[in-house]
Chains A and B, each alone.
Chain A
Amino acid sequence: MNYLEINNVSKTYDTKKVLNDISIKVPQQSIYGLLGPNGAGKTTLIRILNQITMPDSGQVLLDGKPLSPNDIANIGYLPEERGLYKKMKVGEQAIYLAQLKGMDKKEADKRLRHWFMKFGIASWWDKKVEELSKGMQQKVQFIVTVIHEPKLLIFDEPFSGFDPINVNLLKQEILELRDKGATILFSTHNMASVEELCDNIMLINKGEKILEGSVKDIKQQYKNHSYDVVYKPFDGGEEIHQTVNSMNPNDVIREIIDKGELVSFNEILPSINDIFINLVSSSNKS
């Protein structure tokens, strides 16, 4: 079942078409990657989902129903450009933001303290935000994004500004949230994390959808039938590494076992990064 469906959404600013007839389906309890170069229209699409911007045409369905103001409580949004009030105390501020999402003050306080413990920042509750390091501020922002336990989470470049340890922590949290039932929309330029986390992806460029599907299928679709072969020749030389292009892997193997002892044989699948660069540069040319 699809938790989020975007049907034929278009948006034009002045004369510039920022989004052109975009449709996507995000299955419930999956992680969906929204990829595209800068200025592709990702942020506009995300703002439409958050009802910050209205689409010129098209429709957004959440849980099968058109998006309505009540859905604010069902969505958690971590924008790319994010910040906090510098002069306000951390705990106070987190409660304020949770209240704006429609949470009760007491409940927000309780859950926040739990999350602060979990992230090891409980002692910062009464500190002013300006006293926190950037990484800690990012943690606070992550917490306020998920505090109201939304069914749809939207992360725009969630890992920027985090050190590798915290990136890992965050990845674990994101996977855990999905396992608990959340549907996650994830926009990033970090292709490694896309391969690691996303079930499905969409690639947009200049407001047009140029690719959509599951990460596995896309890799299969764009593979160029090359194989990494390692074998030890019978004449007793060093191990030989070879990259072979062939439509018929059985023939390759047959050839090799005549020459020596096969050590390993692996299909080389293109990385999402390669696919991204190829598709975007070819779509920019046309």
Chain B
Amino acid sequence: MKIGIIIEREYLTRVKKRSFLLITFLAPIFFAALMFLPAILMLNSEKFDEKKTIAVRDESTLFVGKFKDTDVNTFVYIDNDLADAKNLVREGVYDGVLYIPGTSLNLPVNAEIYSMKQIPMTLTEYINSTMKTVIEHKKLLASGIDPAIVKAANTSIYVQSIRMSEDENVEKKSFGEFEFLLGIVLAMVIYFVIFLFGNQVMRGVIEEKTNRIIEVIISSVKPFELMMGKIIGIALVGLTQFLLWAILTTGIYFAVSAFLPVQEVFSTGTAMTEQIMETAANTDSNEVLTKAFDIIHSINFKTVLWCFLFYFIGGYFLYSAMFAAVGSAVDNETDTQQFVTPISLLLIIPMVCSTIIANAPDSSISLWLSMIPFTSPVAMMLRIPFGVPNWQVVTSVALLFVTFIIFTWLASKIYRTGILMYGKKVSWKEIFKWIKY
């Protein structure tokens, strides 16, 4: 089959390109860095901090003994006056002096910290929160309220949303935020991939036209075979890239795990999250873990993956057929704008509506956008993590595939005429006329 030869060329010339190799191998390193770096930095953050000794001149005397020494920070209470203390900083005895002015009527709400070098943010934050706790405590006491009562009264509410189904025994916990995020990420990926690879198809067509190799080729194969060969070849390039990304990212993840104390990295991470959770929501760590587990189990990743594949293929074919038609109609890339803009708008609509869709995945606008073939690849990705009824997915995919077949056929008619047209600025009207040839 000649189309096989064309697919092979389109695929190999792209895969062998330096830019393809670069993106394919650098991106996973970038992904891995995104995963590990924050944890590694967090773990080592103290190593980056210099040890600091801070003199505290507390005129209000409210904070005596309240600032606790840590690994990096040491607090020394002094009685010298401020000018004296500043001199000591200049001489290098202290790294900084914290000055809390005495107040006669109100509790102090301001403090100053003098230093030669910039004081780290973490330190000012620590001072801030310590002072806040002390002052709040004092205020409560002044109003005759036992601070212990306030602490006991502090509650956090968590509303668990549970999706029911016809089957009494099947109920599914749903976690809006996570599904929202996953949907947005998937939609973005589909959107970029369709754009990126659709553009490659268009550029490939223009290349053949400006090279003037086109006539040699279509005297050997049908224009339709050439167009489809190109579209399929580039789709395979995309799939290869995904596959390599998945393999390499996992590979790097495990490789890094073997060399770094990842357990530690992540346990610190979790510990910190727990801490935050604990102070914020008073949930115990077991509950946090269960919740994380629930989130992962609440999403049918298999369905998500299959849908991603179907919508990628369907959406890519639909749009790349249009991009191929555009490429055939123009002489160079600068002329593509007037045709590419309306096509891009079709793809951008669901992106613009993404928050609306992800907020209300079952609303009528979400339903319609996920049914219309031009918007469904992106719109459905936003809905999929929340769970979509099977009939909707099937209808939407069927509509998408029927449309892409029709559009490929129309595009091939435009393409057939367009590739042999030179030196002519074409209009939309002209392009529609070519369909009838």
A residues within 8 Å of B by Cβ? 47, 50-52, 72, 75, 77-79, 81-88, 96-97, 99-102, 141, 144
- Whether A52 lies near B211 (C-beta < 8 A) is no
- Whether A96 lies near B215 (C-beta < 8 A) is no
Q: How far is the CA of A79 from the CA of B218 in the complex (A)?
A: 11
CB closest residue in chain A, given B419: A52
- Whether B5 lies near A81 (C-beta < 8 A) is no
Report the minimal beta-carbon distance from B216 to chain A, rounded to whole angstroms.
6
Contact partners of A87 in chain B: CB under 8 A: 13
- Whether B211 lies near A83 (C-beta < 8 A) is yes
Q: B384-424 toward A: CB 8 Å interface, digit per residue (1/0)?
A: 00000000000000000000000000000000000010100
Q: How far is the CA of A50 from the CA of B218 in the complex (A)?
A: 9
Which secondary structure characterizes the binding site on chain A? loop
**Taking A84-B211, A100-B221 as contacts, is the C-beta distance between A79 and B216 under 8 angstroms?**
yes
B9 part of interface (Cβ distance < 8 Å): yes
B66 part of interface (Cβ distance < 8 Å): no
Among all A-B residue pairs, the 10 with the closest Cβ atoms: A83-B212, A100-B220, A83-B211, A79-B215, A50-B219, A77-B219, A81-B212, A83-B213, A99-B5, A101-B220
Q: How far is the CA of A88 from the CA of B213 in the complex (A)?
A: 12
Count chain B residues whose beta carbon lies closer than 8 angstroms to a beta carbon of A: 19
Q: Which of B190-249 contact A (CB under 8 A)?
A: 207-208, 211-213, 215-221
B2 part of interface (Cβ distance < 8 Å): yes
Q: Which of B267-323 contact A (CB under 8 A)?
A: none
**Taking A83-B211, A87-B13 as contacts, is the C-beta distance between A144 and B219 under 8 angstroms?**
no
Residue from the list B13, B215, B422 in contact with A82, Cβ < 8 A? B215
Q: How far is the CA of A81 from the CA of B212 in the complex (A)?
A: 6
- Whether B2 lies near A52 (C-beta < 8 A) is no
Contact partners of A82 in chain B: CB under 8 A: 212-213, 215-216
- Whether B5 lies near A96 (C-beta < 8 A) is yes
Q: How far is the CA of A72 from the CA of B217 in the complex (A)?
A: 11
Contact partners of B13 in chain A: CB under 8 A: 85, 87-88
Selected A-B contacts with CB under 8 Å, 29 pairs: A50-B218, A50-B219, A52-B215, A72-B219, A72-B220, A77-B215, A79-B215, A79-B216, A79-B219, A81-B422, A82-B212, A82-B213, A82-B215, A83-B211, A83-B212, A83-B216, A84-B211, A84-B213, A85-B13, A85-B207, A85-B211, A96-B9, A97-B216, A97-B217, A97-B220, A100-B221, A101-B220, A141-B216, A144-B216
CB closest residue in chain B, given A73: B220
Contact partners of A86 in chain B: CB under 8 A: 211
Q: How far is the CA of A84 from the CA of B13 in the complex (A)?
A: 14
- Whether A52 lies near B212 (C-beta < 8 A) is no
Q: B1-38 toward A: CB 8 Å interface, digit per residue (1/0)?
A: 01001100100010000000000000000000000000
Contact partners of A50 in chain B: CB under 8 A: 218-219
Q: How far is the CA of A77 from the CA of B213 in the complex (A)?
A: 12
Contact partners of B422 in chain A: CB under 8 A: 81
Q: Which of B2, B211, B212, B215 has the most CB of A within 10 A?
A: B215
Contact partners of B217 in chain A: CB under 8 A: 97, 100
Task: For the A-B complex with A83-B216, A84-B211 known, give 16 more contacts whose Cβ atoms are closer than 8 Å.
Answer: A50-B219, A51-B219, A52-B215, A77-B215, A77-B219, A78-B216, A79-B212, A79-B219, A81-B422, A83-B211, A83-B213, A85-B208, A85-B213, A97-B217, A99-B5, A100-B6
Report the minimal beta-carbon distance from A271 to chain B, rounded to whole angstroms.
31
Contact partners of B218 in chain A: CB under 8 A: 50, 52
Q: How far is the CA of A16 from the CA of B13 in the complex (A)?
A: 41
**Taking A52-B420, A87-B13 as contacts, is the C-beta distance between A75 and B213 under 8 angstroms?**
no
CB closest residue in chain A, given B217: A100
Q: How far is the CA of A101 from the CA of B217 in the complex (A)?
A: 9
Q: How far is the CA of A65 from the CA of B217 in the complex (A)?
A: 24
CB closest residue in chain A, given B422: A81
Q: How far is the CA of A85 from the CA of B207 in the complex (A)?
A: 8
Report the minimal beta-carbon distance from B207 to chain A, rounded to whole angstroms.
8
- Whether A81 lies near B221 (C-beta < 8 A) is no
Contact partners of A75 in chain B: CB under 8 A: 219
Contact partners of A100 in chain B: CB under 8 A: 2, 5-6, 217, 220-221
Contact partners of A51 in chain B: CB under 8 A: 219
CB closest residue in chain A, given B416: A52
Report the minimal beta-carbon distance from B214 to chain A, rounded to whole angstroms.
8
Q: How far is the CA of A269 from the CA of B320 in the complex (A)?
A: 59
Contact partners of B211 in chain A: CB under 8 A: 83-86
